[in-house]
Structure formats: structure tokens, C-alpha cells
Structure 1
Amino acid sequence: MVHAQMNGINLHIQAILDASHDGIIAVDKNAVITLVNRNAMEILGLPEGIVGEKITNYIPNSDMLRILASGKREIGDIATILNRHIVINRLPIILDNEIVGAVSTFKEITDIQKMELRIRKQLTESGLEAKYRLEQIVGQSSAIREVKQLAAQFAKTDATVLILGESGTGKELFAQGIHLGSARSSGPFVAVNCAALPGNLLESELFGYEEGAFTGAKKGGKPGLFELAHGGTLFLDEIGEMSLPIQSMLLRVLQEKKVRRIGGEKLIPVDVRIVAATNRDLEEMIRQKQFRSDLYYRINVLTLEIPPLRSRLEDIPALTRSIMEEVMERVDKRITGIDPAVFRVFQQYEWPGNVRELRNVVERMVLLADKAWLDSGDLAFFLRKLKQRGKTEAAEASWAETERMLILSTLQQTNGNKSEAAKRLGMDRTTLWRKLRKLQLR
């Protein structure tokens, strides 16, 4: 009875797949075909009865293998198969943070689809696409886990989100994660830093303009970011830097869900979710009459506060390794490991610049490394910064312990060779001897 029901369900699913206008083919983590519909077999020229067989038996250099290896989406790829022009989307299937398979959907390109594809390509090339999912944000501390869980809940709604956090904590990563976890994930993700543009330029970027609206206006006019974000998410970073006149214009768009280009008369309907971020105290700005209270309550429907790095120091080893991998991939350099003493030094520092500052330090270490292992010898520039900040008695004591730990670690690495240890620590041999006496390590 159960077997018959399962067969019925499978037949029902197959009927739904066959009714789709798109070609659909899926594989498991071993590249074994788990499902395929009739349109896929027709477009790709595949025979009947291939479920359960390796996809490479029919497509030797299948792009699905790349998706299984990288776990990255590929949207809008164009290919010619059996004299047919098709557009292909390939996506990993991820369960519990593990890649368990991949699925590819594709269709023949009509004239309208070609136009849509060009628009999407332009958006992607302009950076109007999110890349980071919430599960890709590095860290297992309770502080970051709680924020990721809350962000995942926010992603399921369509409400406006206000992300609070110090500079460098990764607010845009969370904005991208919320977008990709939402029902708008297939739409554009448009980000603008409100602090990076002067008022008049920010106005034209957000709302667009008509031809002849001002001297130098582009022929034919230009759509604003609200229009480009239609059907997706608009991320307003550093919204606290937005001038009061533009705040008023933004509030009007949020209330009416329509935008009017500069110099234009027509109201253009827009369907956009707003995610805003700031490192400023907006409530204090309201008291100082620098931020509109009505706009604040409009954008502060859901609030997400990102913890500073000093509140989650246990995440530093994982963050350091992740940053190191990114840098190595970019500069084609191989580092095989990191001395744990490096992590302990990093955990003595307060990181006022947060993850952005950590990234800067790790990138410099990788770029300047002359061996395949990062250790205390690669920290000379950072140790100077750390010591300069040791102005209080407590900080001096913390620095002394850090220095003691580093010297011991370096001497162990050099098998007691003090000349080599001094070289790695970025000091001369006499200075090292003096420190050994002071720290009672001789």
C-alpha cells in the first residue's frame, strides 16, 4: 500500500516536471541523475531511462560537476545545444550546510527572453547581485549565531530591516544574506553607500532623472536605483548620513511605493524591499533634528544589531583562516597553516575597525610572507600597533604576557636559535637578550 502511494507521488511529481516549459535535470552529490523532465531530454537529446546513471555518461564535461565542487550559483549562462540557443541556470542543492546535489533549469531563448537576459547581465555587471548567504558568514560564537538566526527569521518576511553595528562589522553581508534568504532572492540586490555621494548625486542615483533635467544629464535619462531594484532589495548603507531633503523624498517613496524621476512628471510604481544600515545613533540624531522621526519608524520595523569583533574573539581563528584562503586564491599564493600563537595575539587586541581591520592585517601578513607558515615572525608590524595601544597599566600587563608568549613560541620554532628568533620577531639579537632578562626567560 505504502509502495503504491510512493509510486503515485513519484508519478505526480514527474507529471508536474513534464508540464514545465523549462528543461529540468538534477543530480545528487555523486553526479548521479535523480530526475529529468521531457523538455530536458528533448533539448539535450537525452534518451529515456537515464535516472540513476551518471550524468557524465551522457554529458562528459557537464557543468554540474563545477556546481557540486564550488557550491556557487550560475545564473543566465547562454549555450548552443543541437542548434538551439538556450539560457541555463545552475544551482547547488544545500541541506544543513552540505552540498547534496545540483539542479539545472534551461529554456530556449525567445526575442523577449534575449532582452531580459541582456538587462540581467547589465545588472550583474553593475554589481547588482548578492553573493553571500547567511550560512556563509563565518563564526560560531553565541553572539554571531544569535544574529544569524534572527536574520534568517527576518528574511522570511518582506518588512523593512534596520541593521545596526560599528563600521567594519559586516552589515552588508547580512543584508545580502537576508535578500538571498527571502522570496526576492531571484530579483536584484542593489546597494548604495549614502555617505559616499554628495546630496545632489545621491538624489539622482536613487530616483533617476529625465533627459534635460539638468546640465550634463544623460541623453534619454537614467533610471534610479529604486527602479533597478524593482522586484528585489535596495540596501541603503550609512543611511544616517542622508540629508534631510533626501530623507523626505525617501519617505514619500516608501509611503506611496512610487518614484518620480528628477525633471519628470510620471510616477513609476516600484516593488522594493528596503534594508538600511548605520553605525550612528539615529534616536540621538532625531533629538538633534538631524534625522526624521517618521522615516526612522518607517525603516526600523525589524532591527538587527551586529556584534563588534571584540565581543566575539573566539571567532578570530575561523575568520583569520577564511580571510587567508580568500587572499591566497586572489594572489595565487599558498600558505599551509598558522601558528596558534598568532590567534592568541589577535585576541589581545580590541579591533576598533572590526572584521575589516582584521582582513587588512591578515592580507598584509599573507602578501609579505616568505614561507609557507604564518607565525610570530609575520607579526612585527602588528606588534608595534599593539604595543602603542598599551597605555594603561592593565594594557601594559596584557602586552607583557603577549610578548612573553610570542618569544617562547618563536624560540620553540627555531629550536632555541636566538639569532633566528630575533630575526623572526623583527628585532636585533641584543634587544631579544634584554627582553629575555626582563621577562626572566634566560
Structure 2
Amino acid sequence: MSTPLYEPPQRPRIWALSISRLRELFFDIAGEYVERADFRIVSHGFEDAVREIEGAGAARPDVVLAGGSNGAYLKTRVSVPVVRISPTGFDMMHALARARREGARVALVTHGDTPDEVRRFTAAYALDVTFASYQSVQDAESVVLDLSDRGIDVVVGPGLVTDIAASAGMGAVFLYSRASVRTGFDTALEVAQATRRETVRRQRLDTLLQHLRDGVVALDAQGRVELMNQRLASVLGIDAAKAVGRTLLDLAPDLAGSLPDTDGDSFCTVRGASYVVHRGPLASSGAAAGTVLTFQESRAVERLDRTLRARQRVQQFTARYRLDDIVGASETIEQVRARVARYAKSDATVLILGESGTGKEMVAQSMHQLSARRDFAFVAINCGAFPEALLESELFGYEEGAFTGARKGGKAGLIEVAHRGTLFLDEIGEMPLSLQSRLLRVLQEREVVRLGSTEPTRVDIRVIAATHRALTDSVAAGAFRADLYYRLNILSIALPPLRERPADLLPLAAELLRQAAAREPGLAARVPDAETAARMLSGLGAALRRYAWPGNVRELQNVIERIAVELADVDAETNADATVVSREMLRAVAPEIVEPVARATKPAALTLRERSRHVEADEIRAALAAHGGDRDAVCAALGISKTTLWRKLNGGTR
């Protein structure tokens, strides 16, 4: 039978168990604790108490409070903490003094051995006390009856003993006081609160583990499971609750030999899936008391790695141009824009054909900006700008120690950097044959192997290539792999040279002048938009259309840049030339544009020397276009001085 005293749902549950006069003290004192805990006094002991506790299910107590032999019995038989009531030294002195008043011969009966301090106390005060102890109920009856036969008048002891002594007609003094019972209540409350806190902590930890995507198991020092989350239990095909207490290798024999022997990582296969297994210490009080194993599916690791690599792009790998930046209203440019918009929806490889300076990278960037890959990197590399060895390391990356001077820790190649984005291979026709085969494998397998490594890295890229060469001629000459050509030439865009779209010359020049003016502090206010720029350049239409523009848009940009510098130095308030670009100004800054027009009127054919000069001038203009108008770089590349460069451009001799 049990009597509920208070039932707050969130308070600790404490059961006080007794089958003796200790129960009366429980009832007297429990009322003092009803505000702090749910106390229940249970009139059961020993095996009956065990059945009552274990059968309570979810309503089982957090702590059990009992005295003497009952507490000792329950301590080893129930799965909840048991607090035993212990008499104080004052309790014993008071009880012995009272017993001496009730009888001449006194015996102190305790559960287990009599404490040494009690024996020393009685000896110090010359008290004639007989000591006895018991272990069980039957033992207690035997001890009390033996004391009765020996002429003991009064027995001092816990409730069970005093009840037996009273039944035998002996004097009985109850050992426990209200103070000792109250101390037991306080201790039980502290243990219950600590147990509740630990239970909440474990529940939160268990909830955390259950929400992890990785499988986790905690093992004790003998390799037995202490905790396993449902993720790993599902992977192993076992019941997580039934796994506790069993060794992991008994539950999953297939793991034998594949788990790491020391702290670190290893690979294993579970039911056909590959996992990265990490082993770490399970610490307790600062010392390793077991092991924690984490199982992470290899595919999840790969997905995470790809995501991280894709998001670690820097500003230099961002596309700047958009489709609207492709200026022109000619039919061929309209077709280019339409094709770019159409191809942006596909992930197929694109080959862009066109002379140098026609805007191949602008088209590639525009296509990237319109594609589903716009939020990831746009990585461009000129295949003709690097020596073969350097190009290989730039494209494919390398491991630490792959070659002399390799960066510590290795380096990711541009193919890896472009993961989930777009890789633009400019001047693909200049790529050495040895690298063409490696690039072909990347396009076919979508994986790259760094220099010095044997492990491939998966990549998700879209490749756009560009060339000014006729690749079919290179294939026929054996300078370009036919299989790579067909792999690249799935989608194709041909960009017309500037000389084939004369109607776009003036609008394009106007836009370039607007951009150049924005960079010149003295000119920005005078050229606020492309319409103003078009009016300023309107007198140059014929001259611009007659020129062949071997450097295409890049050459036109260089000429407009020179015009912008000249205009910035002209005083707008005193000089009418500040609002218009005259033919004389064009002749001054770019004589190569005007002179072919004048020569075209000459009836006589060019001499061999004149043709030679024109060839040299064309080569210099092509070099200027290739180096972005950098005259210093062109002079260094051709081995000539700036004076010679201008003289040959102007057709002079010396």
C-alpha cells in the first residue's frame, strides 16, 4: 500500500519505504517538504519494495529513502539511487542514556558492523553495553532472541529490531531521531535534484545525438556500447535500445578489422556503403574511460567538400560582363546574343571562335551570368600565356612536395577552383598536346588528379573554350587532338570581326568613349552618356568604317582611350574642339586609322619597302592588341624601343 502526499508533475519523486515504526517519523516530517518534492510513503520493504519500485514504470521514483537493513537490501536490487538513514552520534548517546534508565542491561543492535566510534564512546564513558549486529530480517530475529536469552533488559536499534524486541517482551528504544530522518530527507532531495539534472542533461545529449546526420556510438573501456544514436543503429540494422551493454563487434561482426585501432580516421564498408570512421577518446574526470566512434558516409563528405570548395572563391574569379555589355545592333551580333542566351540554359561545352579582340571572354562571362552557375566561380586562364609546366600546375594543382618549389600543403588547380562554376579556357589551340590528354579526361570523367597525387577529386564544372585558330587545321596537322576537339565543339559560337559589322562601329566607339571618360576626372562631366559620346564621334564614322581593325574591339578601345586622354586636356570653355572629335585629332593620336584611307587613293601600287613597312605595322598592332595596349610590354616582346615602335606604326624610316 502507498500513500501519495503531493503530486507536482515536475518535482522530484522521492519514496520513503518502511515496514516499522520509522514510517511514523516519515509521516511527521514529509509535510515539511511538500513544496519541494513529490513524497510518497510506501509501507513495503525488501522484495515487496523491489517489485513496487520496478513496476512503477514512468512513475518510478527518482530516489528511495530507507533505513537499516531495508535500505541495504534495496541498494543492490533497484536501479534508482537509495539513500539510507544513518543515526547520528547524538542519536546513539540519547538512545543509550534512555535505555539505561529503563533497564540495567542494555544492548545496541545495528545493521552491519557496529561503528568503531560507538565502541570508543561507550568505553570512554564506562557504559556497560552489549553490541550485536544483523544482516537480514531472519538474522535480526535470531540476534534479538539470543539477547533475550542472555538476560538483556533493553534493546536499542532501528525499527525492525525494536519491533522484534517489543514482541519478545523486552524494552525497546528506537535509535533514529527526527533530526536523523530530516537529514535523510535533505540528502534524498539533493540526490533527486542531481539525478533530475543528470537525466535532463542525458536527454538533451541523446536528442542532440539523434539529430546528427552521422552515426555515433560511445563505448566503455571494454568495448561495450554505452550509447548509440538511431542513425548508426539504422546503418547497422540493429535496435539502439537493445545494443546498450553489448560489444560493438558482437552487434556488427563485419566491422572487425576495419575500425581504427588508435585515435584517428579509417575507412570501412557497412552494408555496401563506404564510411569514414573517426575514433576519439571518451573522457571521464580527465582520463580516457572509453571510445567515441563517428561514422560519416563518404558521399556526404564529398558533397560537403564540393560545397566548401565552391564557396571559397575569391573576387578575381567573378564574372563582370553581362549580355547587355555586348554592344551592337547588327544582325550578326543579334544572333550572337540570342545564341548566348540559348546556350546559357545548357551545361554542354561551348567553343567560341573569333579573332583576337572580338570579345570571346565577354561572351563567356555573359553566358555564365545567365546560367544556373552564376552564383559560383568563373575561372579564366589563357592557355597560351604559360609555359607547359606552369600551365599544368595552374590547371590541375599539385600536392606538397610534387616538385621543387611546390607550396607547402599543395595547391588546388583552377579546375578545382571552378567547381560548380564555369572554367573558361582562352586560346585553347595553344595548349600543349601532353596537357590536351589530361584535359580530355577531366571532360570525360569529371575528376581531376593533382600533380604528385593518385587520388582523383570530383569536380562539377562547365567548360567554355575559345580560340582564334582554325582548330580543324591544327587537328589535320597533328597539333591538336581530334577527340578533344569534338569534345569541346559540342556547342559553337562564331564572333564576327569588327570589319564585318561596320554599322556597330560608331555605337561601340561611343560606349567605349563613355567608359574611358568615366576614368578621366576632367572628362566625366562632358561625356555623361553614350548619346553624348556618339555626337562627339559623329565626324569619324567614315574613317572608322574604312579601317580594317586587325585588333578588332581591343584595338578600337585603345584608339578611343587615346582620344579620351586628348579630350581631357582640351579646355571646354575656350575650345570648340572640346565637344567634338575631329579628323585631325584622330590623325594625331592614331595615324594608322587615317593613313590607309589616303593611300587608298594612290593610283600606283605599293613598293616592296612600303609593303614591308605595312607588314611590320600590322604585326605591331597585333602585338598591341595581344598585350592590351601595353606599349612597354610590346617593346619588350619585340625587342624595340618606344621611338622605333611609334616610327614603324607611323610608317616612317630611318
In the other structure, the counterpart of 2:539 is 341
**Quick check: 1:365–1:374 contact (8 Å CA) kept in 2?**
no
Distance of 1:309 and 1:327 partners within structure 2 = 20
In the other structure, the counterpart of 1:273 is 462
Distance of 2:450 and 2:592 partners within structure 1 = 49
1:228 to 417, 423, 435: 417
In the other structure, the counterpart of 1:17 is none
Distance of 2:579 and 2:603 partners within structure 1 = 29
Distance of 2:396 and 2:413 partners within structure 1 = 4
| Distance change (3 Å), C-alpha of 1:281 and 1:394 | farther
> Is 1:123 aligned with 2:329?
no
| Distance change (3 Å), C-alpha of 1:344 and 1:391 | closer
Q: Please state how far the C-alpha of 1:393 moved relative to its aligned partner.
A: 4.9
**Quick check: 1:339–1:373 contact (8 Å CA) kept in 2?**
no
**Quick check: 1:390–1:396 contact (8 Å CA) kept in 2?**
no
In the other structure, the counterpart of 1:378 is 585
In the other structure, the counterpart of 2:564 is 366
Tell me, what secondary structure is at the counterpart of 1:379?
helix
Q: What TM-score does the superposition give when structure 1 sets the normalisation length? A: 0.60
Q: Please state how far the C-alpha of 1:135 moved relative to its aligned partner.
A: 2.3
In the other structure, the counterpart of 2:354 is 165
In the other structure, the counterpart of 1:216 is 405
Tell me, what secondary structure is at the counterpart of 2:398?
coil
Instruction: Please list every run of 5 or more consecutive structure 1 residues that lacks an aligned counterpart in the other structure.
Output: 1-112, 398-442
| Distance change (3 Å), C-alpha of 1:393 and 1:362 | closer
Tell me, what secondary structure is at the counterpart of 1:159?
coil
Distance of 1:187 and 1:225 partners within structure 2 = 13
User: How does 1:63-82 map onto structure 2 within 5 Å?
Assistant: none
| Distance change (3 Å), C-alpha of 1:318 and 1:393 | closer
Paired AA for residue 592 in structure 2 = K
Deviations 1:190-230 (A, max 9, x none): 00000111110010000000001001000100000111000
> Is 1:190 aligned with 2:388?
no
The higher-RCO structure (CA 8 Å, 6+ apart) is 1
**Quick check: 1:143–1:311 contact (8 Å CA) kept in 2?**
no
**Quick check: 2:394–2:414 contact (8 Å CA) kept in 1?**
yes
Tell me, what secondary structure is at the counterpart of 2:380?
strand
RMSD: 2.3
Distance of 2:603 and 2:595 partners within structure 1 = 10
Distance of 1:184 and 1:243 partners within structure 2 = 29
Q: Please state how far the C-alpha of 1:333 moved relative to its aligned partner.
A: 3.2
User: How does 1:239-258 map onto structure 2 within 5 Å?
Assistant: 239-258=428-447
> Is 1:136 aligned with 2:330?
no
User: How does 1:382-421 map onto structure 2 within 5 Å?
Assistant: 384-390=591-597, 393=600
| Distance change (3 Å), C-alpha of 1:395 and 1:155 | farther
Deviations 1:66-90 (A, max 9, x none): xxxxxxxxxxxxxxxxxxxxxxxxx
Q: Please state how far the C-alpha of 1:329 moved relative to its aligned partner.
A: 1.5
Paired AA for residue 471 in structure 2 = L
Distance of 1:218 and 1:389 partners within structure 2 = 52
Paired AA for residue 375 in structure 1 = V
Distance of 2:310 and 2:338 partners within structure 1 = 34
Paired AA for residue 180 in structure 1 = Q
Deviations 1:116-143 (A, max 9, x none): 89985x6333x10101111221111111
Distance of 1:176 and 1:395 partners within structure 2 = 44
Distance of 2:519 and 2:477 partners within structure 1 = 45
Deviations 1:89-134 (A, max 9, x none): xxxxxxxxxxxxxxxxxxxxxxxx9xx89985x6333x10101111
Q: Please state how far the C-alpha of 1:166 moved relative to its aligned partner.
A: 0.3
Tell me, what secondary structure is at the counterpart of 2:496?
coil
| Distance change (3 Å), C-alpha of 1:316 and 1:390 | closer
Tell me, what secondary structure is at the counterpart of 2:400?
coil
Q: Please state how far the C-alpha of 1:321 moved relative to its aligned partner.
A: 1.5
> Is 1:326 aligned with 2:544?
no
Tell me, what secondary structure is at the counterpart of 1:150?
helix
> Is 1:175 aligned with 2:364?
yes
Paired AA for residue 273 in structure 1 = R
Q: Please state how far the C-alpha of 1:390 moved relative to its aligned partner.
A: 4.9
Tell me, what secondary structure is at the counterpart of 1:274?
strand
User: How does 1:310-321 map onto structure 2 within 5 Å?
Assistant: 310-321=499-510
In the other structure, the counterpart of 1:290 is 479
Distance of 2:334 and 2:558 partners within structure 1 = 24
**Quick check: 2:436–2:481 contact (8 Å CA) kept in 1?**
yes
Distance of 1:290 and 1:118 partners within structure 2 = 34
Deviations 1:328-385 (A, max 9, x none): 2223232444141122221121111100000000000101221432321421235631
| Distance change (3 Å), C-alpha of 1:260 and 1:119 | closer
Paired AA for residue 428 in structure 2 = I
Distance of 2:333 and 2:475 partners within structure 1 = 29
In the other structure, the counterpart of 1:353 is 551
Deviations 1:7-66 (A, max 9, x none): xxxxxxxxxxxxxxxxxxxxxxxxxxxxxxxxxxxxxxxxxxxxxxxxxxxxxxxxxxxx
Distance of 1:168 and 1:153 partners within structure 2 = 23
Give the number of equivalent residue pairs: 281
1:262 to 447, 451, 454: 451
Q: Please state how far the C-alpha of 1:316 moved relative to its aligned partner.
A: 1.4
Distance of 1:233 and 1:220 partners within structure 2 = 25
Asked which structure has the greater CA Rg, the reply is 2
In the other structure, the counterpart of 1:60 is none
Distance of 2:550 and 2:602 partners within structure 1 = 15
Identical amino acids, percent of aligned pairs: 49
**Quick check: 1:389–1:395 contact (8 Å CA) kept in 2?**
no
Distance of 1:394 and 1:160 partners within structure 2 = 47
| Distance change (3 Å), C-alpha of 1:298 and 1:396 | farther
